[in-house]
DNA sequence: GTCCTGACGAGTA
DNA sequence: GTACTCGCCAGGA
């Protein structure tokens, strides 16, 4: 595996509870602003169970991929709600309040 | 070994 | 405002 995936995991692992990050944001953090695609692909390809909170990585819009792998979008929504993430009426994450800020 | 596809995002037409 | 294309890397067939 290339370091790209490792970097992705490293960043995603650092997302604190109650916060979400977009694929593009993660991609930008690892120095690959155009690799947002592969951020999601990396998580899909090699999700370390219990280490990588994939559910905290969402679209820039705040919504998730159509074919999620947790067991349905409902499962993810439940997980995010448990962490205190607020959902909009559209069923999207409130990126305005929950977007992960890098220190 | 080569070709194709894949959890995105931003720009252009 | 909507639709389409390009960019980028890695893994599977």
Domain ranges of chain A: 1-102
Name the average pLDDT for chain A: 88
Residue with CA nearest to C12's C1' atom: A45
**Residue A62 clears pLDDT 70, i.e. is over it:** yes
User: Which protein residues have a C-beta closer than 7 A to any atom of strand B?
Assistant: A 22-24, 27, 34, 36-41, 43-44, 47, 54, 57, 59-61, 65, 67-69
Q: Residue A79 in 3-state DSSP?
A: helix
CB A22 within 8 A of CB A95: yes
Q: What is the mean pLDDT of residues A46-68?
A: 85
Taking the C-alpha atoms of residue A36 and residue A22, their distance in angstroms, rounded to an integer, is: 8
Q: Work out if A29's Cβ lies within 7 angstroms of strand C.
A: no
Q: Work out if A67's Cβ lies within 7 angstroms of strand C.
A: no
Taking the C-alpha atoms of residue A34 and residue A57, their distance in angstroms, rounded to an integer, is: 16
**Residue A67 clears pLDDT 70, i.e. is over it:** no
Query: Between these two residues, A45 and A15, which has the higher pLDDT value?
Result: A15
Architecture category of domain A1-102 in CATH: Orthogonal Bundle (1.10)
pTM value is: 0.91
pLDDT tens across A7-26, in order? 999 999 999 999 999 999 99
How high is the pLDDT of residue A74? 74
């Amino acid at each position: 595996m290339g370091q790209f995936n490792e970097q992705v995991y490293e960043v995603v692992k650092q997302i604190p509870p109650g916060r979400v990050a977009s694929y593009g944001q993660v991609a930008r953090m690892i120095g690959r602003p155009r690799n947002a695609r592969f951020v999601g692909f990396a998580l899909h390809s090699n999700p370390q169970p219990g280490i990588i909170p994939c559910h905290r990585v969402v679209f820039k819009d705040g919504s998730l991929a159509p074919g999620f792998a947790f067991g349905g979008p409902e499962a993810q929504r439940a997980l995010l709600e448990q962490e205190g993430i607020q959902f909009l009426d559209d069923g999207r994450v409130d990126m305005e309040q929950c977007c992960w800020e890098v220190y």
